[in-house]
Amino acid sequence: MGRLSILTGSLTTLQIPTLALRQKSQPVPQDITPDVLRTLLTEMFACMYQVNGRGLAAPQVGVLWRLFILDMQQPLGSPPLVLINPEILDMDDTIEQGREGCLSIPGYLSHKVPRSRKIKLAGYDQHLERVTLEAEGEIARGMQHEYDHLDGILYIDRLSSWDDLESNPDLWLNKANQVMDRLAAEAPKV
């Protein structure tokens, strides 16, 4: 396998209509070295936190591997989650509609994305240890959203109508804050 040589802060999130977001990703190779994995994960977390994201799948940064990260801060202070080569073991038949946005679809969100209330997944963590995870509610929703990315599926594909898509005011607020921060940093010091 070729060396993956990247520097922190070098990844950017792909946005639709990038074709990479529509591909089925390949399993993370069995012979991945801890260094390559650690570098990729560090980059992905940096990329996600930079834009206040709560989840990111590798294909969103152009790496077509079956791996995602999630940091829902639920319960508050809980550690972020890494799931490599996940498999869905079980999904609850109860479907709930809820709020989702996506870093790859900036400026939009929906409150009507249907997801299973509970999910059970197996896969590998950041130490390549086998794990089984069960989640419900918001975390189950986040896992389903990120898992979908590995198959090239976006939350907008799950909506029953385009009318369920809304403009996301947070995006414009964040942009305004960024501009203000930049202006403050550039302002002459007196």
Applying CB under 5 A, the span of 30-38, 71-79, 82-90, 100-108 interacting with Ni ion comes to 100-108
Q: How far is the CB of 104 from Ni ion (least distance, A)?
A: 5
Q: Is 134 among the residues known to form the active site?
A: no
Q: What's at 143, amino acid-wise?
A: M
Q: What's at 92, amino acid-wise?
A: D
- Binding-site size, Ni ion (CB under 5 A): 1
**CB of 83 or CB of 102, closer to Ni ion:** 102
C-alpha closest to that of 86 among 70, 62, 68: 68
Catalytic residue of the set 43, 134, 138, 146: 146
Indicate whether 102 belongs to the interface with Ni ion (CB under 5 A). Answer: yes
**CB of 16 or CB of 32, closer to Ni ion:** 16
Indicate whether 48 belongs to the interface with Ni ion (CB under 5 A). Answer: no
Applying CB under 5 A, the span of 45-53, 98-106, 133-141, 162-170 interacting with Ni ion comes to 98-106
> Taking a C-beta distance cutoff of 8 angstroms, is the pair 64, 89 a contact?
no
**CB of 6 or CB of 14, closer to Ni ion:** 14
Q: How far is the CB of 160 from Ni ion (least distance, A)?
A: 19
Q: How far is the CB of 165 from Ni ion (least distance, A)?
A: 14
Q: Nearest to Ni ion by Cβ — which residue? A: 102
Q: How far is the CB of 149 from Ni ion (least distance, A)?
A: 6
**CB of 87 or CB of 157, closer to Ni ion:** 157
HEC per residue, the chain? CCCCCCCCCCCCCCCCCCHHHHCCCECCCCCCCHHHHHHHHHHHHHHHHHCCCCEEEHHHHCCCECEEEECCCCCCCCCCEEEEEEEEEEECCCEEEEEEECCCCCCEEEEEEEEECEEEEEEECCCCCEEEEEEEHHHHHHHHHHHHHHCCCCHHHHCCCHHHCEECHHHHHHHHHHHHHHHHHHCCCC
Distance from the first to the final alpha carbon of the chain: 54
Applying CB under 5 A, the span of 31-39, 96-104, 135-143, 172-180 interacting with Ni ion comes to 96-104
- Residues forming contacts to Ni ion in the complex (CB under 5 A) are 102
The catalytic residue positions are 146
